[in-house]
Amino acid sequence: MQELRVFVIDNAITFKNTLVQELTKRLPAGTKIGHAAQPVEALDKMGSFKPNVIVINFALGSLMVNQEKFLPLLTKKFFHVPIVTYGMSTGQSAAKILGAAVYLKKPTIGQSTDEFFDSLIKSLLELNSGKIPATSSTNSSPSTGNGLTRKSMESTITRPSPTRPIATPPPPVSPSSPTPSNTAPPTASRTATPPPEPVINIPTGSPGKINLIAMGASTGGTEALSVVLTNLSPPLPGIVIVQHIPPMFSKLFSERLNEECKLSVKEAATGDIVQPNHVYIAPGGKHMTIRNEGGRYTLECKPGPPVHSVCPAVDVLFDSVAEVAGGSAMGVILTGIGKDGAAGLLKMRRNGSPTIGQDAATCIVYGMPKTAYEIGAVQQQLPLTSISAAIHKIAR
């Protein structure tokens, strides 16, 4: 068995760092591990690192680099190097078509990671020893790579679409006072045991009144948003999102989600008309707000002073949604440090919006949802894996 040199590529920085730590701990002594967050960085580093196995996020491998999907590009530049890829979807067939030797299902937040890492270590060792073929036989097809788009891959990629029973609507509450959630705020520790099946309450109101969904997240949010958005399917109102993220990364993140999701995802731009079944992610370094122009919601994205030390800020978006959309919008606040979004979510709730907060057990950081819950902005507190089902039931 040759010396093992593993190169990890993932633009979800938190998970990439976890991968590197686990591989360092679990692989044989003397194993060399390199890593990168973006395709250009990876190509630059791998030339001198000379990996004999590559590990890459499947969504990142589906991005276009120099007019070609990144994963097939890797198989051409490093044709002798086997590739292990992983993702939130059950995308084994599509991964093999694009050139991967192994596809693994990435655990969602709150699930045990032991099975994933055990399978990853086993695959790396077997690839290094030659027990697993380095590439799929389908990789020899001249049409692989460029011809496969997100829409054409939907027949091979299946995504779970969770459902939950509809509970009896809760009694009316005073919007200025905190409402007991389905689960009282637990301690901030994470657990590998799935939470009990939650009850999803549907707020009172006329069916179909929700015509906009606003979401906010920070630390751990890229992973959390992947979980939520990949489990959403049409028909849904337009979705506007602020994730604390630097410039350039917001575009890559949007492109990655567009490959994974049934909804269309893009980095937002000034003048965008919010369309049903579309997701708009605020560009890094620019605050995003909505306007009502002729009965249609349009977006404005522009630089501005930091709010809560960040730009874009969730509160800026939520404030504008509360003012422009009122009770026709719903709000969702996910994992993150600090208090950004809490005050804006409270304004939305006071204007009649149903609101959801991620619970402590499934948060990477139970900060923003905790503050929102404590000031009464969160109407329902749910585990991450239940939020997609709640959005479906409330918005529909």
Least confident of 29-33, 170-174, 238-242, 293-297: 170-174
Res. 370 pLDDT band, cuts 50 70 90: very high
Helix, strand, coil shares, percent, the chain, to 5: 35, 20, 45
pLDDT value at residue 183:
39
pLDDT value at residue 108:
73
Mean per-residue pLDDT of the chain: 81
Whether residue 110 is predicted with pLDDT greater than 50 in this model: the reply is yes
55-94: pLDDT as tens digits = 998 877 877 777 777 888 898 888 889 999 998 765 566 7
Cα 73 from Cα 272, distance rounded (Å): 32
Which residue, chain included where needed, has tokens 């680099």?
A: 65
Examine the residue annotation and report whether 315 is marked as an active-site residue of this protein: no
Examine the residue annotation and report whether 218 is marked as an active-site residue of this protein: yes
Question: In angstroms, how far is CA 54 from the centroid of its own chain?
Answer: 22
Catalytic residue among 136, 226, 244, 359: 244
Examine the residue annotation and report whether 226 is marked as an active-site residue of this protein: no
Please state the rounded mean pLDDT for residues 183-202: 45
Catalytic residue among 315, 319, 340, 359: 340
Cα 128 from Cα 117, distance rounded (Å): 16
Length of the chain: 396
Catalytic residue among 123, 136, 218, 254: 218
pLDDT value at residue 297:
97
Please state the rounded mean pLDDT for residues 220-247: 92
Please state the rounded mean pLDDT for residues 214-226: 90
